[in-house]
């Protein structure tokens, strides 16, 4: 596991740096207003795709290679293809209804949907313990987008990069789905099997609506500032997410006694990383200025909140990895949905009254509630996993 983690960590660091550069260029090219449209569109698209995920991300990480799993993947591939085809006309109509740049809205939607699709191919390879291949797939996609941004004229680079990156993610997963050549299962059966993962994962995905809510409550410029800062969340949290992608297949195949030992060892490492991330929040304002320029300086409060939220999320991810590898307590999805809905309501109220500062406080409250929702049921779940 240590070797796989080391390989994955190096690959994730490279991918995270590429991702940061990509969003910095997006923001600088589009400006605060344009990036607000971009961030709102990506937030809305990911939120609406919540249930179309069908719990496959966590399921693929387990690394089970049976006919049943292959057939479930084929079913998911068909559903995802339908969703991806529908995204383009929906984006065009939505942009027209809200008087936005239809090409930018469509490009942003295609990009984020394709990125999410490509990430499932990475999860599949990690589940199969092919970390080198997983990291190559991840980094090549990011390099493709970055090359389009730095080599093409500014007037077309964002659109071309978005369509290229999104298409690459779709083609990569499509290749792996077709390679398994399994007949699809009944989609209702697959959804029923993954219902716990779908509902709990749906709560996390629903939090993607935060940028949309900030835009509605405080305007597109506020959404641009908020979206630029929150794009730092995943790169900051990459060490933990990488560790847990290697952790899930290991714990899934271990006996009950080994599971507890591995879990406690990983939890201790993650707590140390979380503390370091929280302390690093003092650097957030300078980081925003460096990456996005002075035009985005007002995003500093949200950037500080992002660092603190990343530390909370790191802890929560350890417990979610345990649930994905064993079983999901029924109360976890309920608690997660309650915390996310309360947190989003808080973001809406606070950003409406206090602007970007209120949005930062609401974001922290959302992650604090979500982390508590995941941790509280863990001890009672031990009985069912032994």
- The C-alpha atoms of residue 316 and residue 168 are separated, in whole angstroms, by 31
**Burial class of residue 178, CB neighbours in 10 A (0-12, 13-18, 19+):** exposed
Residue 46: per-residue pLDDT: 85
What string of pLDDT tens digits covers the 386 residues of the chain? 667 767 877 888 888 889 999 999 999 999 999 999 999 999 989 888 876 777 776 667 666 667 778 888 888 888 888 888 899 899 999 898 888 899 999 999 999 999 989 988 888 887 777 888 888 999 999 999 999 999 999 889 999 999 999 999 999 988 988 888 788 888 888 888 877 777 766 777 778 899 999 999 999 999 999 999 998 887 777 666 666 666 666 666 666 777 788 788 878 888 888 898 899 999 999 999 999 999 999 999 999 999 999 999 888 888 887 887 777 788 888 898 999 999 999 999 999 999 999 999 999 999 999 999 999 988 777 765 55
Cα 182 to the center of its chain, rounded Å: 28
Contact 146, 36 (CB under 8 A): no
Residue 221: per-residue pLDDT: 94
Tokens 């031990």 sit on residue: 382
Q: From the CB of residue 117, how many other CB atoms can be counted at a distance below 10 Å?
A: 25
Tell me which residue of 146, 305, 293, 128 sits closest to 214, measured CA to CA.
305
- The C-alpha atoms of residue 54 and residue 60 are separated, in whole angstroms, by 11
Q: DSSP secondary structure string, 224-236?
A: HHHHHHHTTHHHH
Can you tell me whether residue 1 is helix, strand or coil?
Answer: coil
Q: What are the residue ranges of helices labelled H in the chain? A: 2-48, 56-61, 67-97, 102-127, 131-151, 154-180, 187-193, 195-206, 210-218, 220-230, 233-236, 238-252, 256-279, 284-292, 300-325, 331-375, 378-385
Residue 96: per-residue pLDDT: 87
DSSP state, residue 326: S
Q: What angle do CA 187, 190, 192 make, to 5 degrees?
A: 110
Contact 27, 195 (CB under 8 A): no
DSSP state, residue 152: S
DSSP state, residue 123: H
- Which residue range forms the structural domain that includes residue 253? 2-385
Q: Which residues contact 31 (CB under 8 A, 6 or more apart)?
A: 224, 295
Phi, psi of 342 (to 5 degrees): -65, -45
Q: DSSP secondary structure string, 27-61?
A: HHHHHHHHHHHHHHHHHHHHHHTTGGGTTHHHHHH
Positive or negative torsion for Cα 325, 55, 310, 360: negative
Residue 61: per-residue pLDDT: 63
Phi, psi of 10 (to 5 degrees): -60, -45
Residue 246: per-residue pLDDT: 63
Q: Residue count of the chain, please give it.
A: 386
**Tokens found for residue 83:** 């969703």
Q: How many domains is the chain built from?
A: 1
Residue 385: per-residue pLDDT: 52
Tell me which residue of 313, 197, 320, 326 sits closest to 259, measured CA to CA.
326
Contact 245, 61 (CB under 8 A): yes
Residue 245: per-residue pLDDT: 61
């Amino acid at each position: 596991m240590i070797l796989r983690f080391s390989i994955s960590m190096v690959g994730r660091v490279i991918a995270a740096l590429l991702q940061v550069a990509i969003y910095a260029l997006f923001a600088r090219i589009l400006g605060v207003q344009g990036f607000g449209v971009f961030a709102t569109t990506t937030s809305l698209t990911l939120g609406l795709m919540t249930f179309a995920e069908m719990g496959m991300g966590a399921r693929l990480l387990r690394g089970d290679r049976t006919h049943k799993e292959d057939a479930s993947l084929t079913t998911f591939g068909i559903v995802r293809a339908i969703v991806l085809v529908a995204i383009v006309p929906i984006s065009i109509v939505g942009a027209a209804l809200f008087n936005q740049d239809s090409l930018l809205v469509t490009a942003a939607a295609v990009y984020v949907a394709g990125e999410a699709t490509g990430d499932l191919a990475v999860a599949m390879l990690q589940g199969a313990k092919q970390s080198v291949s997983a990291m190559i797939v991840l980094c090549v996609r990011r390099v493709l987008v970055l090359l389009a941004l730095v080599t093409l004229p500014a007037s077309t680079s964002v659109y071309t990069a978005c369509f290229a990156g999104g298409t690459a993610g779709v083609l990569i997963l499509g290749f792996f789905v077709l390679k398994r050549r399994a007949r699809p299962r009944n989609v209702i059966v697959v959804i029923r099997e993954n219902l716990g993962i779908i509902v709990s994962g749906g709560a996390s995905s629903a939090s993607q609506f935060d940028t949309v809510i900030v835009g509605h409550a405080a305007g597109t410029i506020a959404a641009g500032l908020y979206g630029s800062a929150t794009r730092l969340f995943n790169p900051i949290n990459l060490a933990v997410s990488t560790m847990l992608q290697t952790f899930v297949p290991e714990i899934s195949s271990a006996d009950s006694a080994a599971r507890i030992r591995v879990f406690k060892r990983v939890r201790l490492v993650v707590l140390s990383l979380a503390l370091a991330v929280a302390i690093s929040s003092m650097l957030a304002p300078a980081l925003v200025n460096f990456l996005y320029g002075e035009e985005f300086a007002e995003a500093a409060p949200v950037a500080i909140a992002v660092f603190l939220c990343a530390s909370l999320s790191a802890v929560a991810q350890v417990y979610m990895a345990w649930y994905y590898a064993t079983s999901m307590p029924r109360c976890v999805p309920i608690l997660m949905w309650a915390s996310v809905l309360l947190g989003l309501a808080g973001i809406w109220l606070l950003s409406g009254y206090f602007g970007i500062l209120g949005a930062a406080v609401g974001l922290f409250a959302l992650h604090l509630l979500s982390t508590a929702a995941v941790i509280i049921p863990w001890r009672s779940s031990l009985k069912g996993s032994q």
